[in-house]
Chain A
Amino acid sequence: MSTKLIELGPHQLALEEPMYFRVKLEGDRVADLDVLPGQVHRGMEHLVMRRNFYQNITLLERLCSLCSNSHPSTFCAAVEEVAGITIPERAEYLRAVADEIKRIASHLFCCAVQANVIGETALFRRVMEVREIMQRAKEAIYGNRMDLAANVIGGVRYDLSVEGAAYLARQMEAMKQPLDELYLQYSNNPALLVRMAGVGVLPRAAAREYAVVGPVARGCGIDYDVRKKSPYGAYDRLEFEVAVQEGGDVRARNLVRLAEARQSVSLIEQCLAQLPAGPLCADTLPEIPAGEAIAKSEAPRGELMYYLRTDGSDMPVRLKWRVPSYMNWDALKVMLKGEPVANIPLIVNSIDPCIACTDR
Chain B
Amino acid sequence: MTELRYLAPNSLDEAIKAFAAAGSAGRILAGGTDLLVQMRAGVVKPGLIVDIKKIAEMTEIEQTADGGFRVGAAVSGMALHDHASFGKVWPGVLEAVNLIGSKQVQGRASAGGNLCNGSPAGDSVPAMVAAGAIVTVQGPDGRREMPVEQVPAGPGRTNFKPGEILVSFTLPPRPKGSSDAYLRMIPRTEMDIAVVGLGVSLTLKDGVCTAARVGLGAVAPTVLLVEAAAKALIGSKLDEAALNAAAAACSAACRPIDDKRGTIAYRTKVAGVLLKRTTAIAAQRAKGN
**A and B bound?**
no
Q: Which residues of A contact B (CB under 8 A)?
A: none
Q: Which residues of B contact A (CB under 8 A)?
A: none
